[in-house]
Amino acid sequence: MDSSLDAIFSALSDPTRRAILERLARGKATVSELADPFELSQPAISKHLKVLEQAGLIRSGREANSRPRVLEPAA
């Protein structure tokens, strides 16, 4: 099986990551904005974001002093 497809399915297997994708479908958000609805630390959310980025499902932007995440629709 294609390793990129494995990475996508692995990323989507976690309910927290699916919820993050749901939130990003409504627009870009910072790590702290993404962490708000969860009882997780920002480092824990960052780990989830890293998995999503490695799977190609989201990307990190750059705006002034923040790095909002956005959904990668092509994925």
HSE-CB at 10 with a 13 A cutoff on CA atoms is 16
pLDDT of the residue at 69: 85
- For the chain, the structural domain boundaries read 3-71
pLDDT of the residue at 64: 66
Residues in the chain: 75
Backbone angles phi, psi at 51, to 5 degrees: -60, -45
Longest dimension (CA), the chain: 40
DSSP tag of 64 = T
Regions in the chain scoring below 70 on pLDDT: 1, 63-64, 75
pLDDT of the residue at 68: 84
Name the pTM for this structure. 0.84
pLDDT of the residue at 41: 87
Contacts of 34 (CB under 8 A, 6+ apart): 20, 23, 24, 45, 49, 69
Query: 3-71 architecture in CATH?
Result: Orthogonal Bundle (1.10)
